[in-house]
Each structure stands twice: as structure tokens, then as C-alpha cells.
Amino acid sequence: MVKRGTPPDTIERFEPKVRQGLIVVITGHGKGKTTSALGMALRACGHGMRVCIIQFMKGDLYAGEWDSIKRMNCAIELHATGKGFCGILGNPYPWDEHRANAQDAIDLVQEKISSHNYDLMILDEINNAIKLKLVDLEQVLEILRIKPPMMHLILTGRDAHPQVIELADTVSEIQEIKHAYRKRIEPQPGIDY
């Protein structure tokens, strides 16, 4: 019968014959890209893995993950490098400033990768950043090339570039079937931020 209460005491553990670091791309226009990456960070944390999250286009508005990561007894780092969504209605910063931020974030990624201190790295909204020319495709391809073989790398954001998809092991495209904002429901804490 149902095991009520968290979680079973004795449980089988799967272990792959070969461990390897995967390149995962989460793209598409539907809701769930960043949250899916955050869920993988949560999983990784349970395995004792060290996680680095670099958010390319966020940083102007509070998001719940910032506080929850502080509350976790886990090796998770989060860097919110952006000034919000470039080009989105109401964002006051010029493209140059978004580009300068994104370029500095690329330096940060290279520094973090070179340290070999992480088992999972998340580059949140980097697909968007390529599309908006805040970072160059070649810079991202270089990151994919220098990635340590055992480190997982997750790239999120709309409109993933075909060459990034080509190099990835797992690619999911999230399509919007419905979204609350179309009913004029404002973003809700816990769900949207």
C-alpha cells in the first residue's frame, strides 16, 4: 500500500554503468524552462552534487529561488547577472548595457568552468541571450567545447540555436497550450517567480 510520509526508508538506487556529463537544452515558448532547470538543481543537490546557476537575463526583480537556495544545506551558487529581459516592455536599460552584463556573465561562466568545482551548471536564459545578440553563438559553442566531460550543463531560454541543439544530448521544447496571463492573471509567487 501507499507509503505515507517522506520517503521510503529502504529504496533501490539506480547507478548508470557509465557516468557522464550531459548537455541539456530546455527551450520553447511555454512556461517551465527555468523551473525545470531549478528542479534539476534540487535533484543534483540530493545527490551531493555541486551546482552553479548563472542567470543571464534576470536580476531586476526578486525571484523565490534566491531565498530558497540560501535555505538549502547544499552546494548551490546562484549568480543573477542581468538587468531583466532585454527588449521586453517596461525594461529601461539600453541594449549596450544588457550586452555588457551578458559579456561579463560569459567571463564568469568560463572562470567557473575552469575551476572544475561544479558537477552541474545552469546557464539560465542563455538561448535568449544568443538570439538577442547579447552573447555570440561562437562564445556559447566554445563553452560547450570546454565543458568538463563529467559536468552536466543545462541551457535554458526560448529560441535555442540549431547549432546548440545539435551539440546537446537532451533537448525539450516547451509549448504553451494555455497561460494564465492571457486571462489577465498577473504573475503569482511560487508559480511565476
Q: Is 64 near a second copy (CB under 8 A)? A: yes
Q: What character string, x for contact with a second copy (CB under 8 A) and - otherwise, covers 93-122?
A: -------xx--xx--x----------xx--
Q: Is 169 near a second copy (CB under 8 A)? A: yes
How many residues touch a second copy (CB under 8 A)? 95
Q: Nearer Cβ to a second copy, position 140 or 168? A: 168
C-alpha 131/C-alpha 98 separation (Å) is: 13
Q: How far is the CB of 145 from a second copy (least distance, A)?
A: 19
Q: Nearer Cβ to a second copy, position 21 or 142? A: 21
Residue partners of 176: CB distance under 8 A and separation at least 6: 28, 29, 30, 31
Q: Is 165 near a second copy (CB under 8 A)? A: yes
Does residue 151 contact residue 120 with C-beta atoms inside 8 Å? yes
Q: Is 17 near a second copy (CB under 8 A)? A: yes
* Phi–psi pair at 92, nearest 5 degrees: -90, -5
Q: How far is the CB of 70 from a second copy (least distance, A)?
A: 8
Give me the count of residues in the chain: 193
Q: Is 127 near a second copy (CB under 8 A)? A: no
Residue with cell 521544447: 173
Q: How far is the CB of 132 from a second copy (least distance, A)?
A: 16
C-alpha 29/C-alpha 94 separation (Å) is: 24
Half-sphere exposure of 72 (CA within 13 A, CB side): 22
In sign, the C-alpha dihedral spanning 53, 57, 60, 64 is: negative
Residue with cell 531565498: 67
Q: How far is the CB of 44 from a second copy (least distance, A)?
A: 3
Q: What character string, x for contact with a second copy (CB under 8 A) and - otherwise, covers 19-58?
A: xxxx-xxxxx-xxx-xxxxxxxxxxxxxx-x---------
Q: Is 81 near a second copy (CB under 8 A)? A: yes
Residue partners of 62: CB distance under 8 A and separation at least 6: 193
